[in-house]
Amino acid sequence: MPKNNLKLHFIWLFASLLGFSSCENSSDVVPNLRSKVDYSLLTPSTPYKQYFIDAKGDTTVDLKSGNTRYKMFAALNYYLGAAVRDNKALDANLMKAMYANSANSFTDIASLKIVGTDLNTSGLALRNSTASSKSTSEAEFARTRLDALFVEIATVSNSFATTASKGVAGKLGTYLVDSKGIETAQIIQKSLIGALQLDYIGNVLLTTGLTADNYTLVSGKKYTALEHNWDEAYGLLTLNPIYLAGSTDAVRGTSESFLGSYIWEYNKASYANFHSAFLKGRAAIVNNDLTELKKQAAFIRTESEKAIASAAVGYLAKWKTGTTDAARAHAIGEGLGFIYSLRYCTSYNVDAKFSDDILTALISSPNGFWDLTNDKINVASAAISTKFKL
C-alpha cells in the first residue's frame, strides 16, 4: 500500500473506532421519554393519574387490566355469597368458568358497577394470574386447588337449609360451613387475596416486572411496559383514584375490598403511606430513578405481606373471643384463608411448608373446626407472629 494511502487508512480506522465507541457510550444513556416529575408535588390527596402525562398532555396511565381483574374477583366473590344471600345452590362449573373466563360466564352486577360483557371480552382470566410467580407445577397446583374448592362449595351449598353441626354441613347463623365447620367461601376469597393479588402485585409486577423496558412505548399505546406494570399493580389493588382517601384509623374513607381493605384494617402503622408509595414509584419510573422505584416497591410488598400476617393472627384471636359457634367458625374460616396466603409472602421468606404446617396442626383432625382448642390457636399465632416479627 502506498505511504499516503497507508496514512489515510489509519486515520479512517481511528475515526471509525472513535465513532463506534461514541455510539456505544451514547446508547448507555437514553433520554427520558418525559419531563421529570417533582416528587414534592405528590401528596396523599393527589389523584393517581394527575401528573403522569405525555408531551401532548395525554394520560400515560391505563388501569383497565388491573381493574378488570379486580372486578372479576369481585364478581366471583359475589356469586359465592349467593348460597347465603339468595338461599340457592351454587354451580361449580359456572364458578370454574368465571375463574377461567370462559363461556361468557360473567353477567351484569349493578350494585358493583360490573358489566359482564366487559369482563367476558377482556381476554384476561383470574386463573392465568393465580400463583404466577411460582413454577409451572406449583402454579397449576394452586389453580387446581381453587377448582376443587368451587366443587366443594357447590356441594356444601346444597345444605343451605340445614343447621350445621359436628359432621353436618349447613348454616351456622348466617355462615355456610362444611361438615368440618369450615366456611369454604372464606377459604376461596382469602386464598385469592394471596394467590392473585398479593402474588401478582408483589411477586410479579413489582419484582420481576420492574425490569421491563422504560425507554420505548408499547406498540399503539402511550405508556412503556414498566409504566404499565406499575399501573396494573395499582389497578388490581383499588378502583379508586386515591387509595384510602380520607381514611383514619377508625374509619375507612373509601370503598375498598379484598387486599385493599385488609391493608387498612390490619396495618394501621402503614396504610396511610400506600397511596404516596404508588405515586412516588410511578414518578420514579418517569424519572428513571431506579433507587426510588425499588424503595417504594419494597415498601408496598413488605407492608402488604405484614397486613396478611396480621390478619391471620387477628382472626385466630377472634376465634378465641367469639361467643357463638357461628362467630368462631367465621373467624377461623377467614384465618385459615389468610394462613394459606402466607406462602406468597416472599419478602419474609415464607414458603408453602410454613403455611401448610400451621394449617395441618389446626384442622387436620377429623372434626376440624369442632376440635379446635386454645392451645392449637396459640401455637399457630406464635409461629406467625415470630416469623413476621409482629
Lookup result for grid cell 387509595: 243
pLDDT band at 33 (very low <50, low <70, confident <90, very high): confident
- Report if residue 109 sits inside a domain: no
- Report if residue 32 sits inside a domain: no
Domain count, the chain: 1
- Report if residue 38 sits inside a domain: no
Tell me the angle at which helices 290-321 and 259-266 cross, rounded to the nearest 10 degrees. 80
Position 30 scores a pLDDT of 52
- Report if residue 106 sits inside a domain: no
Is 31 within 8 Å of 55 (Cβ atoms)?
A: no
- Report if residue 23 sits inside a domain: no
- Report if residue 36 sits inside a domain: no
Can you tell me the mean pLDDT for 232-255?
A: 98
Domain of residue 345, residue span: 144-388
pTM assigned to the model: 0.91
Mean per-residue pLDDT of the chain: 93
- Report if residue 127 sits inside a domain: no
Listed residue (46, 28, 25) closest to 37, CA to CA: 46
- Report if residue 218 sits inside a domain: yes
Query: Whole-angstrom Cα distance, residue 355 to residue 361?
Result: 10
Taking 80 as the threshold, does the pLDDT of residue 102 lie above it?
A: yes
CA atoms within 13 A on the CB side of 39: 13
More confident: 13 or 243: 243
Q: pLDDT tens for residues 183-208? A: 999 999 999 999 999 999 999 999 99
Query: Whole-angstrom Cα distance, residue 197 to residue 236?
Result: 7
Can you tell me the mean pLDDT for 348-371?
A: 97
What grid cell was written down for 270? 402503614
Tell me the angle at which helices 136-157 and 92-100 cross, rounded to the nearest 10 degrees. 150
pLDDT band at 26 (very low <50, low <70, confident <90, very high): very low
Q: pLDDT tens for residues 275-295? A: 999 999 999 999 999 999 999
Strand residues in 33-103 grouped as ranges (E)? none
